[in-house]
Chains A and B, each alone.
Chain A
């Protein structure tokens, strides 16, 4: 079994669980804790036809901006766990690509976004960190 760090190896010879990570612990609608947020204001994590998907909403005026739904990847806390506790997904708007990466801890979802503009507008790539509750 190949690895690039100790964490890649199942501890104590434990058998890997099969490769599928169950996203259920993260499913639901998550709301930004900051009601004045100018970033992502709502996330919907769901399973659709067996696929894990994310729908995001950005802060907008007068209404939030619906980003639509994209495939997501669920992550466990180790190679031998199948319980989802983190998620990543990429939204490509054409003019902008936003990588969303989040992990759940203590009932809170911590979201990092990595945003890169592709429209020649001169806007800088930027990072944000936001917190969500169900």
Chain B
């Protein structure tokens, strides 16, 4: 079954190789008010994300799901992950672009504070 042409199965498939994502990624923008750095590690079959928010808030670890560029698999080019802080949920959606990691954070508050859900983007380089 497909929902679009790019869903069609290919003749050859390979497991997703997460290694292009792994390592410590630092924000190019030292004035960012969002994420200072993030680390992706492989633990068994799982990819684990750890984020540090500005100025120095450890978000802890959460599982990350890697994505290839096509249904054929191969090198990971993107990942998604989520943090649930109870008062705040953040979807972390990222992709690689020429060794630059582009990270989008989609944040939604659940504490009645009246703060708007918001989108934030930052760019990271591999240390």
Which residues of A does B touch, CB under 8 Å?
1-8, 10, 15-21, 38-41, 58-61, 65, 67, 73-82, 85-86, 88, 91, 93, 95-96, 98-99, 101, 103, 112, 114-117, 119, 121-129
Contacts and interface: CB of A to CB of B under 8 A. Distances in A.
B22 interface: no
Contact of A8 (B2, B72, B78, B107): B107
Interface of B: 1-7, 9-10, 13-16, 33-35, 53-55, 57, 59, 65-74, 77-78, 80, 83, 85, 87-88, 90-91, 93, 95, 104, 106-109, 111-121
A103 to B, nearest CB: 6
A112 B111 contact: no
Contacts of B109: 19, 79
Contact of A58 (B3, B67, B108, B113): B3
Q: Which 8 pairs show the lowest CB-CB distances between chains A and B?
A: A58-B4, A5-B53, A124-B73, A16-B114, A127-B78, A86-B119, A6-B33, A38-B5
A51 B4 CA distance: 26
Given A5-B33, A8-B88, A125-B66, A81 B116 contact: yes
A126 B66 CA distance: 8
Looking at B4, B7, B13, the one whose CB has the most chain A CB atoms below 10 A away is B4
A59 B35 contact: no
A124 B88 contact: no
Nearest to B13: A122
Given A5-B54, A75-B106, A114-B93, A96 B117 contact: no
Contacts of B90: 4
A81 B107 CA distance: 13
B95 A5 contact: no
Given A65-B4, A125-B65, 4 more contacts: A6-B53, A19-B114, A75-B108, A127-B77
